[in-house]
Structure 1
Amino acid sequence: MSEGVRARSRSLLSDDLKAALKPAPPPSIPANMNTTEPKNPLKKPIHPAAIHFPIAFIGLAVGLDILHAISGNLPAAIANNVPVATDLTRASYFLLSLGLLTSIPAVITGVGEAKKAIDKQGLYEKDGKTIKQKFKGVIAHAIVNDIVILVMAYVWYARRSAATKTLAGKMGLGSALMGGLQLFGANIGGSLTYNYGFGMAIGSGGKKAQ
């Protein structure tokens, strides 16, 4: 091998080694990292977290009312392990109280975040007349849950003076219906989250641009 070829090989090898040993560029850092700029957690949606409490408390209250209503028709093996009627009705009453109390922040945050989303994206389609599909869902979600809260508030008011907090027959049926309606409203809320990104970020466009 000639001297020129050897020198060229050494030169190429040297360049390759230099390239391999060259340090990687530093990772890019977002502008708001490692700074004193405060992060505001209230910019994130609160309603999706707040709504779980009234759903849980009211749902449990309705479940105990249904259990109380059917306890007389249960097999003895099951009925003997069910709490006494007064315990069921009192527990249901206090769970309903918690459900109504926790509904207050759920409603307030829901209205506020819906307004922010509408202000950011607009309520109507490009024709200026048709309400966007996702906001139809928001309106339906709000109406359904407001009906549940109002009816259950009346149920709570009617039970408050009874020593055993027992539901009357028609009121028990209404409570059961509200439990089903609440699940329907929760299903609408879940669809808004998974299909349109509500709850991930205020005013997010989600998977489907509307």
Structure 2
Amino acid sequence: MSSSSRDLAHQADKVARPVAEVGMGQRPWLLSHPIHPATVHYPIGLLSISFALDALQVAPAFTSGLNYLKVLPPAAAINVLSHYTGAAGLLAAIPTIASGLAELYAMWTGQAKAKGGEKSLKDAINKKDVSGEKLKVTLLHATLNDIVLGIAAYNWWVRRQDKDLLLPYTNALLSAAALPLFLYSAYLGGSLVYKYGVGVQRQGAAADVKERQEKEQ
């Protein structure tokens, strides 16, 4: 890397690091743990509902059965509900994306500092070690979320142009495809915490609790 590139990277890091530290919860008023896990519930819930309601177009027999059981509201109400839950989910996803990028940035810079940027990426692609596995899962988690949010934004844009908020069948197919992708991405997010321990008991009060627990055992 040339000296000018290193200087540019250093300047970018000076700007990005304080923002990333807030997302990582590295401030006393943020209780010393990453804030990303606390931001995921609303977009997951709202967008999953929106995708599921849209996907009902793809399974008319199932929809008829639910209508017979009076589980679903009228079709016009479903369109409205899906549109606004999708819009609310996109808005709720803004802090989720920001805090997730903060954790990814901290993870990437930490590994790049330890291994070098190019080697860190190769280790992730090849899943050479636990750090590589963790980074690869994180990148896949982020990529799937970007795809899903892109579909949600496209559906919102298409639907808002119809006075009855109707969604074309092609977009309903996209929603049907997005739902399992979204749920799998959420599963990957859970594995980052429960399998790899990302952001768990590593800083602030959480690290103090871990140290005290280890002494008590």
1:1-210 equivalent positions in 2, closer than 5 A: 39-41=28-30, 43-67=32-56, 69-70=58-59, 74-75=64-65, 78=68, 80-122=70-112, 128=119, 129-131=122-124, 132-200=132-200
Query: Hey, what's the Cα distance between the residues in 1 that align with 2:189 and 2:155?
Result: 24
In terms of Rg, which structure is larger? 1
Moved more, 123-132 or 169-178: 123-132
| TM-score, with length taken from structure 2 | 0.67
Q: Contact (CA 8 Å) 2:79, 2:165: kept in 1 or not?
A: yes
Mapped to 2, the partners of 1:188 and 1:85 lie a distance apart of: 34
Would you say the 8 A contact 1:117–1:202 is kept in 2? no
Same amino acid, percent of matched pairs: 31
Which amino acid in structure 2 is aligned with residue 130 of structure 1?
A: D
Q: Unpaired segments of 5 or more residues in structure 1? A: 1-37, 205-210
Q: State whether residues 148 and 182 of structure 2, in contact with CA within 8 Å, keep that contact through their aligned partners in structure 1.
A: yes
1:76-118: CA deviation from partner (whole Å, max 9, x where unpaired): 8735442110101100000000111111111111001111123
* 2:6 alignment counterpart: none
- Secondary structure of 1:112's counterpart equals helix
For the residues of structure 1 that align with 2:66 and 2:172, how far apart are their CA atoms? 23
Aligned partners of 2:57 and 2:169 also within 8 Å: no
How far is the alpha carbon of 1:122 from its aligned partner?
Answer: 4.0
Task: Pick the structure with more helix per residue.
Answer: 2
- Distance across 1 between alignment mates of 2:38 and 2:169: 34
Give the AA of the match of 1:170: T
User: What TM-score, normalized to structure 1?
Assistant: 0.69
Aligned length: 167
Asked whether the equivalents of residues 54 and 102 of structure 1 are also in contact (C-alpha less than 8 Å), the reply is yes
Give CA deviations for 1:157-188 in whole Å, capped at 9, x if unaligned.
Answer: 00002122121111100111111110111111
Tell whether the 8 Å contact from 2:52 to 2:175 is kept in structure 1 after alignment. Answer: no
Which residue in 2 is equivalent to 1:207? none
Q: Secondary structure at the match of 1:137?
A: helix
Distance 1:77 1:165 in 2: 20
